[in-house]
Structure 1
């Protein structure tokens, strides 16, 4: 077989992607709702397993909901390739799902070409990558980073326990350690993903090759004051939780300018006010703070500075203050040898590319702690993601899928 002649079947890939996106679609918003361990998420996983089984792959689901389809030798080490199927609330059609579908299509293209890999290829659709419960449970369990203590206590932003969500989904949280993979079993991990940012589109590049991935620090802050009448309470006698929140938010640009880098991001993304009423001063504000950077030291400095700013704002407005660490993912440098393999594949395909960091977290950063890992990006139109407006043009999708396919050939020849 001449490797250069192998390519993905775009029609089959589109059918796979459309099949995944029949689950969780919202006609009202145009977004997708496959929250981790929800009914739509698990239905999608079962459908994906059925598709892989129908194509002759050896299929299984592990104790945390990761779905695998094995192609090639039944025994021995493997290269794992894929991404996730879960979404954020009202997410887009490509985030995660493209990588899982492209991985399956790559395996099918190799099968159709009578390719015999030197080691098995395992297509994976990972679970709970979007961090509903604060981490990346699927890949963290595979790499032994999901402790039972954490799984037992983790909750989502609405207070739902992870272990309860798993129980409803038919999974046993106490079996999480059984999902751990041995380094001897996994030679490499490879993931295709939309960029979720504007860099590739702006540069006119078809492919991004990630060299490192930002870490993610997730904090929950609660400011408590006094709910009171908005008309009768003088401004200087208020204990306004929302005013404390706005002070903290306003300090973010200054903190990044002082302590951060070009890769620093601080986001207040979810806010709950009590009571949430037009004529009442907010007595309590509970909100998330997400800190990202490619340097652990910078992340720590920003986290400590944000805590000091929160304490200062609480004192200034007469509030009590609590800060709860929800999760921490270290930044991670990805495997140089996989980046080079992708670069060679992309050059042979005649595609433009650039090396780049990833500002978003991905399973590849977690898997790097187990095995050499690589991450391939395609452009996102206008850099939009985590939104119904998320979009990538089909020619870019096929280019990315072929880059994934030919990198996989280099890893298994």
Structure 2
């Protein structure tokens, strides 16, 4: 037996949520805990309550809907999760899709009177996208927060997370009580757009995630000497920008020698000082974002980046410093849960691919306390974090049905 979601209801909910935080430029601005995200939270709670699902907010302001019976209420839960906060000028799918699919799955099972061995939960995690650093809610859920993280979390405008939570009437340090013990969580599923081009290019319906990339971020500073652009001979310069340029050209070699197919290194933010057109740059600050699904490879990439930058600094007579601003460890998805996904993809006659995730997800945090699995649906032209982000309706329908049928297999009908 295979089940189908109520796709018209799903579309209606999708379109309603997509309008919350949408601005004149077509983008959605539902950053964590801003006014529009708070409206979206209320909307989601209204939907959960409308369909008779037990609804609560935990101490980290994660929104949790639960479908349980008298027979299973004391057993560990099978959880579907994602987030409804967005980056600035976002599309309608990233994060929200997973929550809406989870909502629809629980509604379907409740409406049809299908009882499972394990209770079911859908969770919208707080601040996945990183207004205050990212994955706040799932880190709290998995017991990965500490007081220092809460104290130091601040957005780009200098607003502290603790201030925002207090303005909502919440003690920020209560988030430390949101952690769930391993015995309470049986497994975790997440559905997400791929945020890359692979499924779209290969014309595949779904991706079954094998591993989720780890990543480290560095803030790097190269310091030389600012000087006159006209009077300083080329061979006498201590040009900080040239050090950056040298390192940028080293990246392909570093990946070839120390990385693998899943390796990525990106310089995404650069600031030159003093920033004058007729001055040799005396300092450059830049970011490095490096990713792989293997911790061993990540460590090799770290060593290679450090050695390359040190050598360049010596050659260019620069001072090299860096700070590691974040480190997220890679995780492997549970093999048994992957098999459930593969079996159901075959039953539904879907074209699928087993693939790694190059983006981080809440699942990465939950993996600390429970086995995890993820489903990807195609991103048209590989676009994400943009108003142009889109997935064809039939792919959304397909992914949701795969989630629904796999959920039943994992949660088990007694």
TM-score (ref. length: structure 1) = 0.91
1:39 is the counterpart of 2:38: no
Q: Measure the CA separation in 1 of the matches of 2:385 and 2:194.
A: 11
Equivalence for 1:140: 139
Please give the root-mean-square deviation of Cα atoms over the aligned residues, in Å.
Answer: 2.2
Structure 2: tracts of 5 or more residues without a match: none
> Which residue number corresponds to residue 17 of structure 2?
20
Corresponding position of 1:48:
44
Q: Does 267-276 or 375-384 show the bigger shift?
A: 267-276
Q: Which stretch of the first structure deviates more once superposed, 177-186 or 270-279?
A: 270-279
- Residue 253 of structure 1, CA deviation: 0.9
2:290 is aligned to 291
**Aligned equivalents of 1:36, 1:131: Cα separation in 2:** 8
Q: What does residue range 56-95 of structure 1 map to in structure 2 within 5 Å?
A: 56-73=52-69, 75-76=73-74, 77-95=76-94
Q: What residue is the counterpart of 1:304 in the other structure?
A: 303
Residue matched to 1:153? 152
Aligned twin of 1:399: 398
Deviations 1:181-202 (A, max 9, x none): 0111111111111111222223
Please give the alpha-carbon distance, in whole angstroms, between the structure 1 residues aligned to 2:150 and 2:278: 40
Residue 64 and residue 257 in structure 1: after superposition, are their counterparts in 2 closer, same or farther (change >3 A)?
Answer: same
Q: Which runs of 5+ in 1 are unaligned?
A: none
**Matching of residues 173-252 of structure 1 within 5 Å:** 173-252=172-251
CA-CA distance at 1:102 after TM superposition:
0.8
Distance in 2 of aligned mates of 1:317 and 1:163: 43
Say if 1:68 and 1:31 are closer, same or farther in 2 by CA, change over 3 A: same
| Secondary structure of the structure 1 residue equivalent to 2:11 | helix
Distance verdict in 2 for CA 1:308–1:25, change over 3 Å:
farther
CA distance in 1, matches of 2:317, 2:167: 42
Q: 301-310 or 205-214: which moved more? A: 301-310
Tell me the alpha carbon deviations over residues 75-128 of structure 1, each in whole angstroms, 9 at most, x when there is no partner.
Answer: 322111021112223232211111111110111111221222322211111122
Q: How much has 1:275 moved relative to structure 2? A: 4.0
In 2, Cα distance between the equivalents of 1:309 and 1:68? 47
1:156–1:327 CA distance, 2 compared to 1 (3 A): farther
TM-score by length of 2: 0.91
- CA deviations on 1:5-44 (whole Å, 9 max, x unpaired) are x31122221222222222332322x332223333333332
The worse-fitting range, judged by mean Cα deviation, of 293-302 and 88-97 is: 88-97
**CA distance change for structure 1 residues 224 and 36 in 2, over 3 Å: closer, same or farther?**
farther
Shift of 1:152: 2.2
The CA deviation at 1:359 is: 1.4
Shift of 1:324: 1.2
| Alignment deviations for residues 121-161 of structure 1 (CA, whole Å, 9 cap, x no partner) | 11111122223444422212111112222332244456554
Secondary structure of 2:100 counterpart:
helix
